[in-house]
Structure 1
Amino acid sequence: MTVWLSRLTLDPRSRAARGDLLGGGSAISLHRRVMSLFPDIEANDARARFGVLFRVEDTPRGCALFVQSTHEPDPARLPDGYGALLSRPLDPLLDALKPGRRIRYRCVANAVRRPGATTREVYELKPVVPLGGRAADEWWRRQATAAGLEPESVLSQPLDAVRGPRGTQGAAAKQRMRHDRTRFDGVATIVDADLLRERIVAGVGRAKSYGCGLLTVAPAGGAA
């Protein structure tokens, strides 16, 4: 199985690109745009079928989507003028991961906790509680450890939450969703390379359909 990492640099002149980023239903639109790069299939979760993870970043070349997948995305499926797509196999990097090596990492994740029913009742908490500050950093350290990493440093930055309707039709169009996001950057040492490869492919945490969970790594001397 080949894993692909793609960068889609959006053209700011494209109305479709601006709509996907800024429109009222941008969370849904962006998810659908990313999935449009892959074949149409009869599946309940095509995202998981093609191993699709993505995140949005501001780069020196403009706004870009970083997309990871187990199927090579097809740029011909984008609207004319939407942007430039560059894909490369990630397998050489995954194969080079070895215990003891230091890497830089980046991950935009939905750092949350789910308190039990009794705790929710006593403290009047919601079923899902977003984490910030030290609590978010501790959450990330647990995730990193579970991914076969020993974090040396953690730099966290809260990002705007993903908000919007849960769907475009029926009852889902009337329901609102919110996924809080935090970007984690830092340096770590690989403890278990197999675990790390598994977590890179599977993603970290929840809200993977809405730009969370993509974990990218690079040698500690380079950019993540």
Structure 2
Amino acid sequence: MYLTRCEINPVARGARKLLGSPQAMHAAVLAGFHAGSGDVGRVLWRVDQDRKHTWLYLVSAAEPDLTHLIDQAGWPATQTWDTRDYGRTLARLEAGQRWAFRLRANPTSNVRDGSGGRGKRVAHVTVAQQMDWFVRRAPSFGIDVGKDEEPTVVLAGRGVDEFRRRSDSSARGGASGRTPSWGQVTVAWAQFDGTLTVVDPDALRAVLTGGVGSAKAYGCGLLTLARSVTP
């Protein structure tokens, strides 16, 4: 596994397009993996922004080549990207360790409709709903983030991304002369920052490499560990 960090130049014309559409950023991320690079598998990505920097983070089974992204949305003359062997971090996870973490997720639940199926996916949009979603699921991630009354996590950001996506069927139908159709996509996201204690290292490894929740193609689901925290 690989962990990659790439700085985006937010004033670049190409960057504005990518940052304004998770669909476009998803396509740019996948373009960094060539057909000959083996089984690409699930690629997790997330954009972090503050006053000084805009970072794109990737976790992937194959090593990416982000030359195209640097040319389009970075600083081609001065900066490139940084890819590290993620396996070293994963291998040294042990129960009892404390880490700072960040997760951008799409908190949702399936509501049963009585038909016996999976039900309808409903987004959690309030602060209380989103925090409850994370705290209740934390044990299944192999981590402890405190009790409901005193969690060691804060809701550091939240918002809604709305963009248009071309349907797969219309993309295939374009070759037969059909008029392409586009659908509106809405993703309610929440950013969780805090500290965690490792309870089940294997479960946490699965989350770090496989992601959390839905909308993974649109920049949600990537949990990263920032630095060790002394107990």
Does TM, normalized by the shorter one, top 0.5?
A: yes
1:67 matched to 2:58? The reply is yes
Q: Normalization by structure 1: what TM-score?
A: 0.82
| Pick aligned residue for 1:19 from 10, 17, 20 | 17
Q: CA RMSD in A?
A: 2.6
Cα offset, 1:61, TM superposition: 4.5
Letter in 2 for 1:199: V
| Residue deviations 1:172-222 (CA, integer Å, cap 9, x gap) | 742111111001111121111011111110000000000000010134439
Letter in 1 for 2:202: D
Paired residues of 1:37 and 1:73 also in contact (CA < 8 A): yes
Cα offset, 1:11, TM superposition: 2.0
1:191 matched to 2:189? The reply is no
Gap runs ≥5 in structure 1: 119-125
Letter in 2 for 1:113: S
Inter-CA distance 86–173: structure 2 relative to 1 (3 Å threshold): farther
Letter in 2 for 1:130: A
Paired residues of 2:102 and 2:226 also in contact (CA < 8 A): no
Structure 1 or 2, whichever has the larger Rg, is 2
In structure 1, what is the equivalent of residue 149 of structure 2?
Answer: none
In structure 2, what is the equivalent of residue 144 of structure 1?
Answer: 138
1-structure distance, mates of 2:62, 2:52: 25
Give 3-state SS (helix, strand or coil) of 2:193's partner: strand
1:55 matched to 2:46? The reply is yes
Cα offset, 1:82, TM superposition: 2.6
In structure 2, what is the equivalent of residue 177 of structure 1?
Answer: 185
| Pick aligned residue for 2:217 from 201, 209, 221 | 209
| Residue deviations 1:5-61 (CA, integer Å, cap 9, x gap) | 111111234321121113xxx1211110111111148xxxx8xx4331011111464
Q: Normalization by structure 2: what TM-score?
A: 0.79
In structure 2, what is the equivalent of residue 123 of structure 1?
Answer: none
2-structure distance, mates of 1:173, 1:160: 26
In structure 2, what is the equivalent of residue 32 of structure 1?
Answer: 27
| Residue deviations 1:49-83 (CA, integer Å, cap 9, x gap) | 43310111114642121111111111334362532
Paired residues of 2:108 and 2:121 also in contact (CA < 8 A): yes
In structure 1, what is the equivalent of residue 159 of structure 2?
Answer: 160
1-structure distance, mates of 2:11, 2:196: 39
2-structure distance, mates of 1:221, 1:196: 17
Letter in 1 for 2:144: E
